[in-house]
């Protein structure tokens, strides 16, 4: 059973229409004024990701990687004795305790 439309009585509706100079439009939404929900959901194909596709490099699924252990990475870099410019950043400022 659809919901009944809430409004004022018929006499007051006619008086309101006369004073407004038009029929009043209710701001409330009722089931009989909405679109039907009987249509099936869309079938969107999974995107084909190729290297020649413009969005291939911007696909966020390809950016995900396991986390980097900074301690192990810094130890590996130190053991390889590479220049300091290629070192990984450390998280925040280090406070030197006395």
- Is the per-residue pLDDT at 17 higher than 80? yes
With helix as H, strand as E and coil as C, how does the chain read? Answer: CCCCCCCCCHHHHHHHHHHHCCCCCCCCCCHHHCCCCCCCCCCCCCCCCCCCCHHHCCCHHHCCCCCCCHHHHHHHHHHHCCCHHHCCCCCCCCCCCC
* pLDDT score for 1: 55
- Is the per-residue pLDDT at 82 higher than 60? no
Considering the domain boundaries, does residue 64 fall inside one? no
* pLDDT score for 11: 95
Nearest-angstrom CA–CA distance, 26 and 18: 16
Considering the domain boundaries, does residue 1 fall inside one? yes
pLDDT digits (tens, 9 = 90+) for 31-80: 777 877 787 887 777 666 555 666 666 667 777 788 888 888 888 877 77
- What value does the mean pLDDT take over residues 12-22? 95
Considering the domain boundaries, does residue 23 fall inside one? yes
Please give the residue range of the domain that contains residue 4: 1-35
- pTM comes to 0.33
| Tally of domains in the chain | 1
Q: How many CB atoms lie within 10 A of CB 60?
A: 6
């Amino acid at each position: 059973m659809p919901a009944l439309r809430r409004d004022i009585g018929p006499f007051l509706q006619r008086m309101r229409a006369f004073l407004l100079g038009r029929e009043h439009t209710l701001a409330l939404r009722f089931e009989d004024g909405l679109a039907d929900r009987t249509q099936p959901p869309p079938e969107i194909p999974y995107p084909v990701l190729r290297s020649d596709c413009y969005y291939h490099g911007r696909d966020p699924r390809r950016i995900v990687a396991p986390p980097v252990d900074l301690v192990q990475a810094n130890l590996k870099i130190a053991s390889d004795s590479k220049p300091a410019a290629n070192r990984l950043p450390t998280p925040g400022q280090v406070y030197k305790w006395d």
